[in-house]
Structure 1
Amino acid sequence: MATYVLIPGAGGESWYWHRVVPALRARGHDVVAPDLPADDDSAGLAEYAEAVVSAVGDRTGLILVAQSMGAFTAALVCARLPVDLVVLVAAMVPAPGESPGDWWANTGQPQAQRAADEQAGRDPDAEFDPVVRFMNDLPPDVVAAAMSRPPRDQSATPFATPWPLAAWPEVPTRFLLCRGDRLFPAEFQRRVVAARLGITPDEMDGGHLPALGRPAELVERLEAYQAESVRHRR
């Protein structure tokens, strides 16, 4: 069995994974889903990675699953711990020396989002609405639960922190994009992943938050990756 290490995106809340954790544990896996110090203005990417490393402790057989901005943290964890596999989910793939704040303009995300909105008939200049942008495919009860949680402000500190690695770690890596992602449109992700990781992403239906919107399918994808990883190591 594996140790799944589930790394959240901006906001840093392990709650994001609460529909995935019991399903993985029911299959016999160990699961670590730490909160990140996202509301701490003294914490940058190094502190985010430290939070994950501390939560992992001496566990082995690590599979890191990183959502969105969590990719920046996952790579730093790989530099410190023996990791069998990284799975990036609707993620931001960093470049050497690039901060999460610079990633958006460097990749052309604003233009890609605007084009996707226009093509879908959404107003690209509409006021930001998290339900429209992030939760478009979530069940109503999950949307209600997410919106009822006390707000946790994401500090700007890590967005100004350059990613310190010279290259993506030499760890087997899979990328899973969501075809209905309104933040990182599918065609945009196909381009960025190919350019920065040199791989073709896998694809599933759903929006930016598949652990909340499609947890069963996400778990099946993760389990398939885990089984393939085991075969390759034999």
Structure 2
Amino acid sequence: MTTFVLIHGGGGSAWDWHLLDAELRGRGHDVVAVDLPVEDESAGLREYAETVVEAIGDRRDLVVVAHSWGGFIGPLVCDRVKADLLVMLTAMIPAPGERPADWWANTGFGKRDIDDPIGQFMHDVPAELAAEAMTRSREHTDKAMREPWPLDRWPDVPTRFLLCRDDRWHEPDFMREVVRARLGITPDEMDGSHAPMLARPKELADRLEGYLTGRS
């Protein structure tokens, strides 16, 4: 049995994973998904990672999946626990010493206005589900956004990047270049928006299981 450790993105919550959670458990796997302390003004990047590590406890056979802003946290968790694989899911890839708030400028992402969050992040998510996701959005405090990413190198863990071809936020051409520049690998790809765990949970579960069997 594999334990999938699911780390949500900025302003998200463990709820974001509930469809994927059910899909993975139905296939005989264990799942750890927690709310990062994004609303805690005293919490920094290490506290976010510690929240995940505490939830993992003594579980083994770990696959860590980090989504979007959670890409700053997934590698920190893998630096603390022994994971078999880190999957960066349309995620931000940090550089040593980089502040999360600087990532957009450092990578050339640029500044964008979010006039239509559902259209930009969840355009293929069923309307009622997307609306519920918006009601669950949480404010992200400044400390974790403005402190330097604490590792001086990428953790010693096999790493895959799963890119979404229909992502309107982390656009595919942009992310392909960031992945090659920062991880030195070619990303894997699937269809879907920035929220595949809500739009395509079965397909995403298939892809994650494929990493275990060598099919992906």
**TM-score, normalising length: structure 2:** 0.95
Residues 3 and 127 (structure 1), Cα distance of their counterparts in 2 relative to 1, 3 Å cut: closer
Looking at structure 2, the residues matched to 92 and 144 of structure 1 have their Cα atoms a distance apart, in angstroms, of 24
Residues 60 and 16 (structure 1), Cα distance of their counterparts in 2 relative to 1, 3 Å cut: same
Q: 1:127: how far off? A: 5.6
1:156 corresponding residue in structure 2: 142
2:33 corresponding residue in structure 1: 33
Looking at structure 1, the residues matched to 121 and 140 of structure 2 have their Cα atoms a distance apart, in angstroms, of 16
2:61 corresponding residue in structure 1: 61
Aligned to 1:109, the other structure's residue is in SS state coil
Looking at structure 2, the residues matched to 53 and 99 of structure 1 have their Cα atoms a distance apart, in angstroms, of 22
Looking at structure 2, the residues matched to 77 and 206 of structure 1 have their Cα atoms a distance apart, in angstroms, of 26
CA contact (8 A) 1:49 1:76 kept: yes
Amino acid at match of 1:175: F
Looking at structure 1, the residues matched to 174 and 154 of structure 2 have their Cα atoms a distance apart, in angstroms, of 19
CA contact (8 A) 1:45 1:158 kept: yes
Based on CA coordinates, which of the two structures has the bigger radius of gyration? 1
Amino acid at match of 1:52: V
Detail structure 1 runs of 4+ shifted over 4 Å in the superposition.
Answer: none
Amino acid at match of 2:103: W
CA contact (8 A) 1:177 1:204 kept: yes
Deviations 1:106-161 (A, max 9, x none): 001127x7xxxxxxxxxxxx662211211111111211222343x42111221101
2:77 corresponding residue in structure 1: 77
1:142 corresponding residue in structure 2: 129
CA contact (8 A) 1:71 1:91 kept: yes
Looking at structure 2, the residues matched to 211 and 226 of structure 1 have their Cα atoms a distance apart, in angstroms, of 18
CA contact (8 A) 2:79 2:156 kept: no
Structure 2: runs of 5+ lacking an equivalent: none
Looking at structure 2, the residues matched to 127 and 89 of structure 1 have their Cα atoms a distance apart, in angstroms, of 21
Looking at structure 2, the residues matched to 146 and 30 of structure 1 have their Cα atoms a distance apart, in angstroms, of 24
Q: 1:5: how far off? A: 0.3
1:128 corresponding residue in structure 2: 115
Q: 1:166: how far off? A: 1.3
CA contact (8 A) 1:86 1:174 kept: yes
Q: Percent identity?
A: 56
- Tell me the C-alpha RMSD between the 2 structures: 1.5
Amino acid at match of 1:173: T
Equivalent pairs counted in the alignment come to: 215
Amino acid at match of 2:67: Q
Looking at structure 1, the residues matched to 155 and 114 of structure 2 have their Cα atoms a distance apart, in angstroms, of 38
Deviates more, 1:161-170 or 1:17-26: 161-170
Residues 1:17 and 2:4 aligned together: no
